[in-house]
């Protein structure tokens, strides 16, 4: 086997396709029983895209675009899972995938110039190249409060949702966490539950998703503009259709600025974040204007003024953390059976047989939803014992934060490729990872043509990339917020920027320039 791809999410599936297309002998292993990655595990009620469905789907096949109709501007999880299953079957990839195999270790064998990959069932694979498409949000994180094993009700993490679902009808339910997942699930739990307590550690700047159905006419129109849509994704920093407004919001009259904000708030999707004024991400005064505007909209939607204040973030501005999109989230708190516990004032002490004990009392519960996020970006790598040259552990190499070259390779870890891993672009993830997957496939196929067996970046190239990654976040509003993008949500983790803030066009340019310059920064043998 020439290459093993780990992870059948949207990035891994395309990686499998493109390696296979280039004639590389490739296989894939996946921990789940089906394909989809994030869209397989996160099957909680309300899980859906907040990027436009047709910008998140694949662009590599005109036939696929012709035959797949998206039903909503922001498709729900079941539709996306169906789509990814369709792609896998449509391109005859399923035969290359082994399911229910979780990689526990991967060790570089310098003599054989191959990886030794061991799975939870004890199977051993020996690929020349190891391509990790593990996902940046796939290692679920739980609160550190003790006692969960004592709880006799039902519980689930949004990122590990049970296939059979959970029926909340007539139950007393707690949702812990108010990030994108919590904000999506809360209104749906509130609909069925007899009582809902939302445990909030930090409020977020949530704006309406304003989702709508895609009619056959709209789908035909999208198809007719697909080239244009692709071009827009390639020019956008986040790989989305949206680009920031480059004029200064601070130089505008207040009422003109406000009408822009009105339009953005009422627009579908993440336009408030991705199509806002550029200075909102860079200048605190511009950012303050947006936060004041959204706070006003929250106050208008929540009847109890004291509760509204608790739902308005005070510790960060809009966009400093990834803003969730919501559908009726704030209105839920006007309902008599829904209450909010701010864990800053009322910390959780422990889970008990019958619910949650806080410093102020006990909440009797039938079910608990953990919408408590993920050990982001590096968590999925840390769960595997990956060892490169001379037994060097990736966990140790990344102890102070991830170290990569171009977000694609790691010094000391030959023939290891990262797709959708640390220090590469997020946003509409497949728009960054299809570029990466094409690069990996071209590199591996090129090596085979030239008879080369090993590729590895130099330590100097890795250092240079880290400097570039860190320079990109400096001076932005994001730099000063505590968020999963810095690993701040995981107790004890050293603060390090885990992503790439330079945007997709610059990322592509950098990778292309190094490649065109004779694979600058790499050693081949
Ligand atoms: O996770 P999160 P998520 N006690 O880390 C709280 C993407 N996504 O699953 O903010 C109490 O954002 C934590 O509090 P704090 C998207 O990129 C996309 O919601 O750390 N609370 C926070 O409120 C997103 O950013 C979609 O103080 C605790 C929440 O739990 C990313 O995934 C949908 C706690 C975790 O929020 C992660 O989103 C869903 C504790 N001990 C997700 N520990 C789309 O729409 C943590 N929290 C496409």
At 492 the pLDDT is 85
Cα separation, 365 vs 215, in Å, equals: 42
Pocket lining: 80 vs ligand 1, CB cutoff 6 Å: no
Is the complex ipTM more than 0.90? yes
CA-178 nearest atom, ligand 1: 23
Bridge-based pairing of strands 367-370 and 207-208 is unpaired
Pocket lining: 243 vs ligand 1, CB cutoff 6 Å: no
Q: Does 451 score more than 90 pLDDT?
A: yes
Query: Which residue has better confidence, 488 or 169?
Result: 169
At 480 the pLDDT is 85
Tell me, letter by letter, the H, E, C secondary structure of 7-46: CCCHHHHHHHHHHHHCCCCEEEECCCCCCCCHHHHCCCCC
- Per-residue pLDDT, averaged over 110-135, amounts to 97
Tokens of 347: 């910390």
| Probe target for ligand 1 pocket from 372, 375, 493, with the most ligand atoms within 8 Å of CB | 372
Pocket lining: 135 vs ligand 1, CB cutoff 6 Å: no
Q: What is the pLDDT of residues 356-415, one digit of tens each?
A: 999 999 999 999 999 999 999 999 999 999 999 999 999 999 999 999 999 999 999 999
Which residue, chain included where needed, has tokens 């986040």? Answer: 238
- Reported as a pLDDT band with limits 50, 70 and 90, residue 475 is confident
- Per-residue pLDDT, averaged over 478-496, amounts to 89
Q: What is the pLDDT of residues 190-211, one digit of tens each?
A: 999 999 999 999 999 999 999 9
Cα separation, 110 vs 142, in Å, equals: 38
Q: What is the pLDDT of residues 127-144, one digit of tens each?
A: 999 999 999 999 999 999
At 481 the pLDDT is 86
Tokens of 176: 């812990």
Q: What is the pLDDT of residues 41-61, one digit of tens each?
A: 999 999 999 999 999 999 999
218 neighbors 69 (Cβ within 8 angstroms): no
Pocket lining: 238 vs ligand 1, CB cutoff 6 Å: no
Question: What's the 381 CA to ligand 1 centre distance in angstroms?
Answer: 19
CA-159 nearest atom, ligand 1: 9
At 129 the pLDDT is 98
Pocket lining: 39 vs ligand 1, CB cutoff 6 Å: no
Question: What's the 195 CA to ligand 1 centre distance in angstroms?
Answer: 22
At 525 the pLDDT is 97
Q: Does 461 score more than 90 pLDDT?
A: yes
Kindly report the protein residue whose alpha carbon is nearest to atom 26 of ligand 1: 180
pTM for this prediction: 0.97
Q: What is the pLDDT of residues 277-290, one digit of tens each?
A: 999 999 999 999 99
Question: What's the 184 CA to ligand 1 centre distance in angstroms?
Answer: 11
Tokens of 135: 């996902």
The overall average pLDDT reported for the chain is: 97
Q: Does 318 score more than 90 pLDDT?
A: yes
Q: What is the pLDDT of residues 176-189, one digit of tens each?
A: 999 999 999 999 99
Question: What's the 72 CA to ligand 1 centre distance in angstroms?
Answer: 24
At 426 the pLDDT is 86
Question: What's the 278 CA to ligand 1 centre distance in angstroms?
Answer: 25
Kindly report the protein residue whose alpha carbon is nearest to atom 48 of ligand 1: 49
- Per-residue pLDDT, averaged over 139-168, amounts to 97
Return the percentage of the chain with pLDDT > 70, whole number.
Answer: 100
Pocket lining: 223 vs ligand 1, CB cutoff 6 Å: no
Exposure string for 161-177, b = 16+ CB within 10 A, e = fewer: beeeebebeebbbbbbb
At 243 the pLDDT is 87
């Amino acid at each position: 086997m020439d290459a093993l791809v780990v992870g059948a999410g949207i990035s891994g599936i395309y990686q499998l396709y493109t390696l296979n297309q280039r004639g590389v002998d490739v296989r894939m292993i996946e921990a789940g029983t089906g394909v989809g990655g994030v869209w397989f595990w996160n099957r909680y009620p309300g899980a859906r895209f907040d990027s436009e469905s047709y910008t998140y789907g694949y662009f590599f096949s005109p036939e696929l675009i012709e035959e797949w109709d998206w039903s909503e501007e922001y498709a729900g999880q079941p539709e996306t899972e169906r789509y990814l299953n369709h792609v896998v079957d449509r391109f005859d990839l399923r035969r290359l995938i082994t399911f229910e195999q979780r990689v526990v270790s991967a060790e570089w064998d310098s003599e054989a110039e191959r990886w030794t990959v061991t799975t939870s069932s004890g199977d051993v694979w020996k690929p020349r190249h190891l391509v990790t498409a593990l996902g940046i949000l796939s290692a679920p994180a739980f609160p550190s409060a003790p006692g969960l094993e004592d709880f006799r009700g039902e519980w689930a993490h949004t990122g590990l949702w049970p296939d059979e679902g959970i029926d909340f009808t007539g139950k007393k339910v707690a949702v812990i966490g108010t990030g994108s997942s919590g904000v999506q699930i809360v209104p749906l739990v509130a609909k069925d539950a007899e009582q809902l307590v939302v445990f909030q550690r930090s409020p977020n700047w949530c704006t309406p998703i304003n989702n709508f159905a895609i009619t056959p006419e709209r789908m035909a129109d999208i198809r007719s503009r697909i080239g244009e849509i692709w071009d827009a994704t390639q020019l956008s920093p986040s790989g989305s259709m949206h680009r920031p407004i480059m004029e200064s919001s601070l130089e505008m009259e207040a009422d003109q600025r406000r009408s822009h904000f009105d339009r953005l708030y009422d627009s579908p999707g993440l336009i408030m974040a991705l199509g806002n004024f550029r200075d909102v991400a860079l200048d605190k005064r511009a950012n303050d204007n947006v936060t004041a505007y959204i706070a006003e909209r929250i106050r208008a939607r929540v009847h109890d003024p004291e509760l509204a204040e608790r739902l308005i973030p005070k510790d960060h501005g809009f966009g400093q953390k990834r803003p969730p999109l919501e559908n009726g989230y704030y209105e839920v708190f006007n309902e008599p059976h829904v209450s909010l516990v701010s864990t800053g004032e009322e910390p959780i002490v422990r889970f008990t047989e019958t619910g949650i004990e806080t410093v102020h009392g006990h909440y009797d519960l039938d079910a608990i939803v953990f919408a408590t996020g993920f050990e982001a970006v590096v968590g999925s790598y840390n769960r595997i014992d990956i060892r490169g040259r001379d037994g060097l552990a990736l966990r140790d190499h990344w102890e102070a934060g991830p170290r990569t070259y171009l977000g694609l390779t790691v010094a000391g870890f030959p023939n290891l490729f990262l797709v959708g891993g640390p220090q590469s672009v997020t946003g509409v993830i497949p728009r960054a990872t299809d570029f990466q997957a094409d690069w990996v496939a071209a590199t591996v196929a090129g090596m085979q043509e030239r008879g080369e067996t090993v590729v590895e970046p130099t330590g100097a190239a890795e250092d240079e990339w880290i400097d570039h990654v860190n320079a990109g976040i400096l001076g932005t509003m994001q730099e000063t917020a505590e968020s999963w993008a810095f690993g701040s949500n995981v107790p004890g983790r050293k603060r390090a920027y885990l992503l790439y803030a330079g945007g997709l066009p610059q990322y592509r340019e950098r990778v292309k320039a190094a490649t065109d310059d004779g694979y600058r920064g790499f050693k081949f043998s």
